[in-house]
A = this chain, B = another copy of it.
Amino acid sequence: MPNIEHTEDRYRVQSVARAAALLELVADAGPQGLGVTEMAQGLGVAKSTALSLSRTLAHAGLLRSLDVGARYGLGLNLLRLGDLASQQTSIGELGLPVLHQLSQATGMTARLAINENGYPIFLERVDGGGPVRFHAPLGQREEPHCTAAGKAILAQMDEASVRQLIEEAGMRVHTPKTLRSVEELLHDLERARQVGFALDDEEEAEGVFCVGAAFFDHQGRCAGALSVTDLKLDVPLREVQALGQSVHAHAERLTTILSGSRRMARR
């Protein structure tokens, strides 16, 4: 579904591709898992094929059988592998301490996203102390136009690239406050550049307020963005400026870490 099938990829192993699709299928199925029959029709293969695939994946710990040998859910090895994946992505590893500091300094849920061709992908998350937990999945490509991290990243691109990206990504409307036009977006990005941080003022979800700022790698390229999230109610307007400066400062700190303490952010 999110993945368009095959870019004319030669060298592709059918059964492995099916196995990967099966993982996605099981992930979407939720906690109750999937049975062999459901897998089979979800993948469009015979039941016996689905059985072989699931058995093999289960043996590798990528799936696990929920009941005794009947339904399958995601396996615990995925936990370990996912954890290693974020560690091995040096940004995730290097950014985690900064993220903790940011969370502690603001008391809010802090997240770190990397820049993948203009899209933010969240690698790490540190919950704030508050009672409210936010739905904040990791490893997922989020939308650029309505998230603080996304706009912080977009603000570092030139206008032509932004237009092209939005052309491709679209601008889904989530709330009444979601920006509707590229012009509106570009204007907002200009403002973000001037103050050094981007806002998501109930643009993705009602009642949720985010502040984001970009950080840069050793070549000065925008490597990603930090953001903090909280209920709009809990963010007095007069504090937004201070909050933004804090996020910006932490992003700059991360920039100096990533660049070997040589170069500063490109504005």
A contact residues vs B (CB 8 Å cutoff) = 3, 6-7, 9, 11-13, 15-17, 19-21, 23, 27, 30-31, 33, 48, 51-53, 55-57, 59-62, 73-90, 121, 123, 137-140, 217-219, 257-262, 265
CB <8 Å contact, A140 and B12: no
Report chain B residues within 8 Å CB of A260.
61, 75-77, 79-80
CB <8 Å contact, A78 and B76: no
Q: Which residue of B lies closest to A90 (CB)?
A: B31
Report chain B residues within 8 Å CB of A139.
76-83
CB <8 Å contact, B53 and A13: yes
Q: Which residue of B lies closest to A28 (CB)?
A: B84
Q: Which residue of B lies closest to A73 (CB)?
A: B88
Q: Which residue of B lies closest to A12 (CB)?
A: B56
**Given A17-B59, A20-B62, A55-B9, A85:B79 Cβ within 8 A:** yes
- Assembly CA distance A234 to B218 (angstroms): 35
Q: Which of A30, A80, A90, A137 has the most CB of B within 10 A?
A: A80
Report chain B residues within 8 Å CB of A16.
15-16, 19, 53, 56-57, 60
Q: In the assembled complex, how far is the CB of residue A182 from the closest CB belonging to chain B, in whole angstroms?
A: 23
Q: In the assembled complex, how far is the CB of residue A153 from the closest CB belonging to chain B, in whole angstroms?
A: 16
- Assembly CA distance A187 to B87 (angstroms): 36
CB <8 Å contact, A23 and B81: yes
- Assembly CA distance A257 to B34 (angstroms): 21
Report chain B residues within 8 Å CB of A76.
85, 89, 121, 123, 139, 218, 257-261
